[in-house]
């Protein structure tokens, strides 16, 4: 049986986001939960010590830490990214992440 976007949204609507994605030992998992013409929403799970090297995107991004702790760099600034905190990244901003503990976050990418 094939599910459409509405069916998927109904299935996950009552879930706790941190339960909607697993952890993977020594790995990173990404799970797209919504995709529309002008963007998408993706869950990420990082095992302790996993990282994303410095990169940028041509789109605006909202990140929200859901669980755990990560070191985050935005340009030349570094800080700890903790559960409940959020960041807004402008298009083209260089950023990187290193999971200090098991870490989960939600990313909303907005295309202009």
- Domain assignments of the chain as residue spans, ordered by start: 5-110
Torsion angle, alpha carbons of 49, 47, 73, 36, to 10: 160
According to CATH, what is the number of the domain 5-110? 2.60.120.10
Of 38, 28, 35, residue with least CA distance to 60: 38
At residue 16, the pLDDT reads 73
Q: Is the pTM higher than 0.85? A: no
Q: What parts of the chain have a pLDDT lower than 50?
A: 1
| Per-residue pLDDT tens digits for 33-49 | 889 999 999 999 999 99
- Dihedral angle, C-alpha 52, 56, 59, 60, nearest 10 °: 70
Q: What pLDDT score does 22 carry?
A: 85
What backbone torsions phi and psi does residue 17 show, to the nearest 5 degrees? -55, -40
Q: How far is Cα 18 from Cα 51, in angstroms, rounded to an integer?
A: 19
Q: What is the pLDDT of residue 112?
A: 83
What pLDDT was estimated at residue 1? 47
Written as six digits, the tokens of 11 are 């299935």
């Amino acid at each position: 049986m094939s599910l459409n976007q509405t069916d998927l949204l109904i299935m996950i609507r009552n879930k706790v986001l941190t339960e909607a994605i697993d952890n993977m030992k020594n790995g990173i998992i990404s799970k797209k939960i919504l995709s529309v013409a002008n963007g998408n929403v993706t869950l990420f799970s990082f095992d302790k010590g996993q990282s994303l090297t410095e990169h940028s995107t041509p789109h605006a991004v909202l990140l929200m830490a859901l669980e755990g702790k990560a070191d985050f760099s935005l340009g030349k600034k570094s800080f700890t990214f903790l559960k409940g905190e959020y960041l807004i990244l402008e298009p083209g901003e260089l950023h990187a992440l290193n999971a200090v503990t098991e870490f989960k976050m939600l990313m909303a990418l907005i295309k202009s």
